[in-house]
Amino acid sequence: MRYCPACREELTQRSIDGVVRLACPSTPCGFVFWGNPIPVVAALVRMDDDYVLARNAQWPEGMFSLITGFLEKGESPEDAVARETQEELGVRVSEVRFLGHFTLAQFNQLIIAYLVRASGEIHPSSEISEFKRLSSSELGAFDFGPLELTAQIVQVALQQANPSPSKVAPCAG
């Protein structure tokens, strides 16, 4: 961003609240580009006993991830993740369960991740070049390569699905 969207002055860098930000030098205007993160939804899709990973049509061979997309104006994250899943895979969504939120700093995004239960036959959109259906153990062992955040989200989902037994202190008798 080079120019103020409010008054068209050229933006300059100034320290605001201890952070260097782009801001309008015009005192009456006062516009500040805060650079807030962009919310993105991510779906780990579960169909029957399998999990679905997809390869975006623009990605290299062998790179699979979750279904992701941006929220539209006025849309809740739950509605957005259901819509993205339906649009990209052509399936019916029956349940949306929050997994957690994650920061993807290099793209200035806040990832809001969900486990999405879906049914039907997969009919991928043109955004998806291929998909994989994996069992829980296959998913846990899958190599996501450079997609470290995807691997982290998957591990959270698998831990929630199969929590470790809690340690119980032996009874003193």
Residue 122 Cα to chain centre, angstroms = 20
- At residue 173 the predicted structure's pLDDT band, cuts being 50, 70 and 90, is very low
Contacts of 76 (CB under 8 A, 6+ apart): none
Residue 112, SS3? Answer: strand
pLDDT at 164: 59
34 pLDDT more than 50 = yes
Nearest residue to 7 via CA among 24, 19, 21: 24
For the stretch 41-54, pLDDT in tens is: 999 999 999 999 99
Q: Contact 156/113 with Cβ under 8 angstroms?
A: yes
For the stretch 14-32, pLDDT in tens is: 999 999 999 999 989 999 9
169 pLDDT more than 80 = no
pLDDT at 117: 98
Burial class (CB in 10 A: 0-12, 13-18, 19+), 171: exposed
For the stretch 71-108, pLDDT in tens is: 999 999 999 999 999 999 999 999 999 999 999 999 99
What value does the mean pLDDT take over residues 48-72?
Answer: 96
- At residue 9 the predicted structure's pLDDT band, cuts being 50, 70 and 90, is very high
Let me know how long the chain is. Answer: 173
Give me the helices (H) in the chain, please.
77-89, 136-141, 148-161
- At residue 161 the predicted structure's pLDDT band, cuts being 50, 70 and 90, is confident
Name all domains of the chain by residue range, CATH numbers in brackets: 1-35 (2.20.70), 38-161 (3.90.79.10)
pLDDT at 55: 97
What value does the mean pLDDT take over residues 147-161?
Answer: 95
